[in-house]
Amino acid sequence: MHKLDGLVDSKEASILARRRDEEVQRQNRIFNTRIRTIGIDQQALDAQIQDRKIQDETEARKHIAFAKDLIRHDQTMCLLDDRHKHDVINMNKAVSEYRICYQKPETRREFDLNDPQALKKDVPARISDTDPRCTVSSIQKFTGEDINQQERIRRQQEQIREWSLAQQNELKNALEDQKFANRLYDNTRIALDRRICDLQQMEEDTRRAVTITTKDFNWAQATEKAARQKLEKQQEQEDNLVEIENLLHSDLLTENPKQATSAFGPNHVIVHRWKGMTQDQIDDVIRRQKQQVQERKRLEEEERQVNAEWDRRRINDARAAVLMERHQKRVQRQLRKAVDCQNMLLCKDHKERERFLKNEVYVNVPTAKYFEQFNTTSR
């Protein structure tokens, strides 16, 4: 037991002695006028400066290493970028070659929409004036157009040539016929002269017979015409009488309302035949108008009642709001009075507390001895 106590006491004594030495050294540093005036620890600052230099050198080495890595990475990226550009160029070249070889424009489905030779390959809207595609509704054939002009001119030229040859042949034949006719004329003129005398005599006989026949025919025609005119006049009078009778009993003059009825239904009428509404329709319209007037009055009365109810509710709400506002004002006045009373009590209590602290609590004034007890140790 005594050995253990001795060890503990010696250990504690050494600890206390070490603490006393540290306290003495600390007091020497703190209470030294020169060091206390400067207010710094030179050794600690030197150690900090040395640490700062080591840290700056370490940071500089790190920056240099980072810069070298950055340069190496930039070179690598440049090489990769160049390789990527070459790959893109090669790929575009391969794509272009593939398109040229295997994706020609004429192999596409929509090439017929973008074909620059489409107008040359396309069939004309119409080939000729007799094109069966040119119907009435196609609007492909207009007055004054002549698509087959060249063909028509060629055919006309051929036709004119054929006509010229035919006219030449006809002229040649006509000359031969004229010569033959002149010979015949000379031969027949003599025969005609002989026949003229006979014909004159026959003409005089025939003229007398024709005059008698014409006179008889004219008289028969006049008689037939008079009878026909009389019959036509009688027939016209009968037709006029029948027409007048039909008009008198027709739907137009009798104003039959059924004639305006349309074949599309009872609610449709033929405008140029409609003679106006019937009495039943007019009565029905008047009845419907009266019903509409009664319905309008009923709706106005309901609206007036609704408006009156809303006015009554609005007045009641306004009266209740006024009463509520007055009640709130009374409550606020009461609250204000209560708050004023409470503030007066608090003010009175505060003054009493200040008076108590001044007269009862804070009665001891600190002396110089009180301040001398401070700053006696390094702690």
Query: What whole-number distance in Å separates Cα of residue 46 and Cα of residue 53?
Result: 10
Expressed as residue numbers, the domain containing 68 is 2-97
**Is 153 domain-assigned?**
no
Amino acid in position 20: R
**First and final CA of the chain: distance in angstroms?**
37
3-state secondary structure of 342: helix
Query: What whole-number distance in Å separates Cα of residue 70 and Cα of residue 76?
Result: 10
Amino acid in position 312: R
**Is 199 domain-assigned?**
no
For the ranges 10-19, 46-55, 266-275, the lowest mean pLDDT is seen at: 266-275
Query: In the predicted model, is pLDDT for residue 38 greater than 60?
Result: no
Query: In the predicted model, is pLDDT for residue 235 greater than 50?
Result: yes
**Which residue in this structure is represented by tokens 């026909």?**
228
**Is 356 domain-assigned?**
no
In this prediction, residue 140 carries a pLDDT of: 65
**Is 254 domain-assigned?**
no
Q: Span 266-295, mean pLDDT?
A: 79
In this prediction, residue 1 carries a pLDDT of: 43
DSSP 284-304: HHHHHHHHHHHHHHHHHHHHH
List the beta strands (DSSP E) in the chain: 261-262, 265-269
Query: What whole-number distance in Å separates Cα of residue 104 and Cα of residue 115?
Result: 12
3-state secondary structure of 115: coil
3-state secondary structure of 250: coil
Q: Closest Cα partner for 25 from 349, 378, 298? A: 378
**In whole numbers, what is the pLDDT of the chain averaged over residues?**
82
Hey, which residues does 262 pair with through a beta bridge?
Answer: 265
**Is 363 domain-assigned?**
no
Res. 244 pLDDT band, cuts 50 70 90: confident
The pLDDT tens digits of the residues spanning 191-227 come to: 878 888 887 888 888 888 888 888 888 888 888 888 8
**More confident call, 320 vs 132:** 320
The whole model's pTM is what? Answer: 0.25
In this prediction, residue 307 carries a pLDDT of: 92
Residues 6+ apart with CB under 8 A from 65: none
Query: What whole-number distance in Å separates Cα of residue 128 and Cα of residue 148?
Result: 6
In this prediction, residue 53 carries a pLDDT of: 92
**Is 22 domain-assigned?**
yes
Residue 259: Cβ-neighbour burial (10 angstroms; 0-12, 13-18, 19+): middle
CA 266 to chain centroid: 44
In this prediction, residue 2 carries a pLDDT of: 47
Query: What whole-number distance in Å separates Cα of residue 259 and Cα of residue 275?
Result: 9
Using CA of residue 297, residue 302, residue 303, residue 307, what is the dihedral sign?
positive
Cα dihedral 66→71→77→80 (10° resolution):
-130
- The structural domain count of the chain equals 1
The pLDDT tens digits of the residues spanning 39-52 come to: 566 777 788 889 89
**In b/e form, how buried is each residue of 162-199, taking b as 16+ CB within 10 angstroms?**
eeeeeeeeeeeeeeeeeeeeeeeeeeeeeeeeeeeeee
Query: In the predicted model, is pLDDT for residue 3 greater than 60?
Result: no
The pLDDT tens digits of the residues spanning 137-196 come to: 666 666 666 667 788 888 889 999 999 898 899 899 888 888 888 888 888 888 878 888
In this prediction, residue 275 carries a pLDDT of: 67
**Is 156 domain-assigned?**
no
In this prediction, residue 372 carries a pLDDT of: 76
**Is 52 domain-assigned?**
yes
